[in-house]
Structure 1
Amino acid sequence: MTKTVARRWITDWDPENEAFWRQSGARIARRNLIYSVLAEHLGFSLWLLWSVVAVSLPAAGFQFTVDQLFWLVAVPNLVGSVMRIPYTMAVARFGGRNWTTVSAALLLIPIGLMAYCVSTPGTPYEFFLVAAATAGLGGGNFASSMANISYFYPEKHKGAALGINAAGGNLGVAVAQFAVPAVIGTGAALHLANAPLLWLVPVLAATACAWLFMDNLTVSRASVAEQTPALRNRHTWIMSFLYIGTFGSFIGYSSALPLLIKSQFPEVSWAYWAAIGPLIGSLARPAGGWLADRAGGARVTLATFAVMGLGVAGVLGALAVHSFALFALSFALLFVTSGLGNGSTYRMIPAIFRAQTPTLAEARKQAATVIGLAAAIGALGGFLIPRGFAASISATGSLDTALWAFLAGYAICAGATWWFYLRTVWTARVPSLAHAGV
């Protein structure tokens, strides 16, 4: 029986108990997952909204340089990365339902500020930067949502559940990039304020749904002291680094692609081509968790880094011969593999801490902390990739320098994955990890 107290706190939660899971656990977990996905999805849409709107700012009369436009795309990702740390801790402090409600309501801030900026001629660039920074609140939602949902599911379903939760959020990127061009118009009929206002009613609905239909779990309550042991574990930082390579690539390429297409292939209509990559990357994420549950997260992660290297090589070749077809296919490969890697790396985290921690309750608390911290550090890729492209263009006039740097980064990530999680020395020292999804 699931016990509750006032304000929808569930005090008795044991998803590893098969009878409990069949009787009520699965139903409750599924309900919370649905509304978590809704709030996170909207957070991602608003987080990446500037990547779509920035392309149309010059046509709307805002004469910003290419470097300034890349800053508007990158700043939300930097702020979102930082915000993911307090957002993760907020779940342990306030409860998943309570914090999902608050974090959804906070999305009204970037909606209002963007609407003001793009509808007010003469708005200073500095105010645009402030408005773009508030979009980072949407990036924080992911960390709190993933940390919260990690408590609801048993170990055998955790990879798939986290993959679905993350994919639902990631799809917000594609939805924004598909929807915004349709509502803002073209040419002299541009209505950029329609872009943020499109999300006003859905955000209000998500806020209400989180409050009315989600639950808090007492097992997720943890003090700062209870969460800090995870910070002393080297695997916290190794997995955070690997997540820069997977999720950082997904969010970074998603942010930069509209501007990349417009600058490198001006003859191509960027609007819907830019949305296809985030769409397929988001859909691939649950498959990464599913594959990790069966083949091992480290094996899947290593394979994705290897193929991502091929994707970068393809982009370099496409730019050399000015082939948009090869460019698009190479980026599609990067999005699919980064999506798979997102799912597999996140599946590795609870498996690693379950193998190293004496009790399941302690393992869950540490894994939830690491999930949030990895999400924060991984999101730095969303800042580094657009700024890397901007710096490369400014210094050399091409994207090649940035792409070579990204290729070297994937080689380092692949080597780290093998060294720490696939070597015979490692698996012999911690044999339980060989059977834990790692």
Structure 2
Amino acid sequence: MTSAPAATGGRKGGRWIEQWDPEDEEFWARTGEKTARRNLLYSVLSEHIGFSIWTLWSVLVLFMGPEYGIDPAGKFFLIGTATLVGAVIRVPYTFAVARFGGRNWTVISALLLLAPTLAAFAVMEPGTSYTTFLLVAALTGVGGGNFASSMTNINAFFPLRKKGWALGLNAGGGNIGVPVVQLMGLLVIGVAGAGHPRVLLAIYLPLIVIAAALAAVRMDNLAPVRNDTGAVRESVRDPHTWIMSFLYIGTFGSFIGYSFAFGLVLQTQFGRTPLQAASLTFIGPLLGSLIRPVGGLLADRFGGARITLWNFAAMAAATGVVIFASVRESLPVFLVGFTALFVLSGLGNGSTFKMIPGIFQAKALARGLAGEAADAWARRLSGAAIGLIGAVGAVGGLGINLAFRQSFLTAGTGTAAFTAFLVCYALCFVVTWAVYLRAPAAAPAPATAGEPEPAPQPSYAQV
């Protein structure tokens, strides 16, 4: 029988739980669930503020009027820089959890958010060079890394049967940081005016400190979580890691890319003022964040692959509505289509992340493993894959911002960019069906005497 988790203060200077087995139902009911939920709560808070800081420049560009001397293409490149750094930094953040402990790294990563916030506070005024703005925007990428470490940490706390809900709630609560910072920006523009971006930054400085302090006193480190270089190498070689990375580009890449670009698109294509744009930009990210746990729950019940498949079909349809509205220059129809894209990207975020542990669990069973051995193998591989998939998926946000930049440079509208996104969603639909839902080929004939039995093929329809 697994013993109850015991936090120890002598090891590595932090709160460490030496034994953790969430798949043991007795342990989970007795102490595991309560501990996991507490860590989930404070992980969500830290990740939430991390997302707000990562997407800070999607709001700050709304404060940058003609006196800043930066054209729309330059603003898209600013937010694209923040997206890229946030994507790349997710890889080391994934390994930081095992190196330092989930609680310890949550504290460190929260405090790191002070650097981009203070830097933006120092330079956010007309006359600052574009290069300086680029460097400060790049600093905000540390907020994007928080997602990877948070998801890796929470993945270790929950049993497989609860991962869709837990990872969806963790990511959704973090994603809400996007509309919250946009609402804060709207409040500042409405009350203080577009000439006072430093007010927004001053609001977040104490919130960062509070998140770090709460993580320090309320979260735990899991001693059994270790960096497993063998699992990393194995997950990198596994084609499913890269297939899921591509699908996550379609869901999370869309969510974060649209979150960064929405306000700027409204200003550039539809001539909205900063206040008008800010009053609209938060709606889509808010709905997309709130529905992410629903995507995880639906995936727990019906299978992540099925939910993901039809979600991509719906995203393609919503993109068609946006293209129509862009060509006809209809802002109401555009807002309906774009908001639908946000909702669907959030739903797909939940279902795709549920698929990852399910895929490796199916592969473990196909390898002949069972019980705790199968669970342990699946946890190793899925834990290693999650960080990489999250990083590659976030790069999709950079692609979206670069596509918008090029589309507005060449045509003055986002129509060409949306057409490219429609093709991407169609490809994601085909890949999901072909790899995870297509009926398997007929079973091979039984081996004759002296021949090895054919290896069982994993079934992914329920992942």
Instruction: Quote the offset at 1:186 in angstroms.
Output: 6.9
Instruction: Quote the offset at 1:223 in angstroms.
Output: 3.4
**Closer, same or farther in 2 for the Cα pair 1:189/1:137, shift >3 Å?**
closer
In the other structure, the counterpart of 1:343 is: 350
Instruction: Quote the offset at 1:229 in angstroms.
Output: 1.3
For residues 368 and 14 of structure 1, the distance between their equivalents in structure 2, rounded to whole angstroms, comes to 15
Q: Which one-letter code corresponds to 1:2 in the other structure?
A: P
Give the aligned CA root-mean-square deviation in angstroms: 1.6
In the other structure, the counterpart of 2:302 is: 295
What SS is found at the alignment partner of 2:440?
A: helix
Q: Which one-letter code corresponds to 2:313 in the other structure?
A: A
Q: Higher mean Cα deviation, 149-158 or 395-404?
A: 395-404
In the other structure, the counterpart of 1:430 is: 457
In the other structure, the counterpart of 1:71 is: 77
What SS is found at the alignment partner of 1:14?
A: coil
In the other structure, the counterpart of 1:282 is: 289
For residues 37 and 213 of structure 1, the distance between their equivalents in structure 2, rounded to whole angstroms, comes to 13
For residues 328 and 398 of structure 1, the distance between their equivalents in structure 2, rounded to whole angstroms, comes to 15
For residues 327 and 65 of structure 2, the distance between their equivalents in structure 1, rounded to whole angstroms, comes to 28
Structure 2 counterparts to residues 85-164 of structure 1, below 5 A: 85-119=91-125, 121-164=126-169
Q: Higher mean Cα deviation, 357-366 or 109-118?
A: 357-366
What SS is found at the alignment partner of 1:424?
A: coil
For residues 39 and 315 of structure 1, the distance between their equivalents in structure 2, rounded to whole angstroms, comes to 34
Residue among 259, 265, 278 paired with 1:260? 265
Q: Which one-letter code corresponds to 1:76 in the other structure?
A: A
For residues 97 and 155 of structure 2, the distance between their equivalents in structure 1, rounded to whole angstroms, comes to 11
In the other structure, the counterpart of 2:30 is: 23
Task: Indicate if the aligned counterparts of 1:185 and 1:191 stay in contact, CA closer than 8 A.
Answer: no
Which deviations, in whole Å up to 9, do the C-alpha atoms of 1:343-390 show, x marking residues without a partner? Answer: 000000000111213432232121111111111000011111111011
In the other structure, the counterpart of 1:175 is: 180
In the other structure, the counterpart of 2:336 is: 329
For residues 207 and 187 of structure 1, the distance between their equivalents in structure 2, rounded to whole angstroms, comes to 29
In the other structure, the counterpart of 2:17 is: 10
Task: Indicate if the aligned counterparts of 1:31 and 1:213 stay in contact, CA closer than 8 A.
Answer: yes
Instruction: Quote the offset at 1:319 in angstroms.
Output: 1.4
**Closer, same or farther in 2 for the Cα pair 1:403/1:189, shift >3 Å?**
closer
Structure 2 counterparts to residues 225-264 of structure 1, below 5 A: 225-264=230-269
For residues 84 and 45 of structure 1, the distance between their equivalents in structure 2, rounded to whole angstroms, comes to 16
**Closer, same or farther in 2 for the Cα pair 1:189/1:347, shift >3 Å?**
closer
Q: Which one-letter code corresponds to 1:395 in the other structure?
A: T
Instruction: Quote the offset at 1:187 in angstroms.
Output: 8.5
Task: Indicate if the aligned counterparts of 1:73 and 1:386 stay in contact, CA closer than 8 A.
Answer: yes
**Closer, same or farther in 2 for the Cα pair 1:185/1:117, shift >3 Å?**
farther
**Closer, same or farther in 2 for the Cα pair 1:395/1:226, shift >3 Å?**
same
**Closer, same or farther in 2 for the Cα pair 1:267/1:94, shift >3 Å?**
closer
Residue among 397, 405, 426 paired with 2:412? 397
For residues 317 and 226 of structure 1, the distance between their equivalents in structure 2, rounded to whole angstroms, comes to 46
Instruction: Quote the offset at 1:66 in angstroms.
Output: 1.1
Q: What number of residue pairs does the alignment pair up?
A: 434
Instruction: Quote the offset at 1:431 in angstroms.
Output: 4.7
For residues 82 and 134 of structure 2, the distance between their equivalents in structure 1, rounded to whole angstroms, comes to 9
Kindly indicate whether residue 425 of structure 2 is the aligned counterpart of residue 410 of structure 1: yes
Name the structure with the higher helix share: 1
Instruction: Quote the offset at 1:393 in angstroms.
Output: 1.1
For residues 69 and 192 of structure 2, the distance between their equivalents in structure 1, rounded to whole angstroms, comes to 15
**Closer, same or farther in 2 for the Cα pair 1:430/1:290, shift >3 Å?**
farther
In the other structure, the counterpart of 1:220 is: 225
For residues 147 and 118 of structure 1, the distance between their equivalents in structure 2, rounded to whole angstroms, comes to 34
Residue among 315, 319, 343 paired with 1:312? 319
TM-score normalised per structure 2:
0.91
Residue among 76, 84, 95 paired with 2:90? 84
**Closer, same or farther in 2 for the Cα pair 1:27/1:302, shift >3 Å?**
same
Q: Which one-letter code corresponds to 1:115 in the other structure?
A: F
For residues 421 and 188 of structure 1, the distance between their equivalents in structure 2, rounded to whole angstroms, comes to 51
Structure number with larger C-alpha Rg: 2
For residues 227 and 427 of structure 1, the distance between their equivalents in structure 2, rounded to whole angstroms, comes to 33
For residues 381 and 340 of structure 2, the distance between their equivalents in structure 1, rounded to whole angstroms, comes to 33
TM-score normalised per structure 1:
0.96
Q: Which runs of 5+ in 2 are unaligned?
A: 444-455
**Closer, same or farther in 2 for the Cα pair 1:186/1:2, shift >3 Å?**
closer
Task: Indicate if the aligned counterparts of 2:249 and 2:394 stay in contact, CA closer than 8 A.
Answer: yes
Q: Which runs of 5+ in 1 are unaligned?
A: none
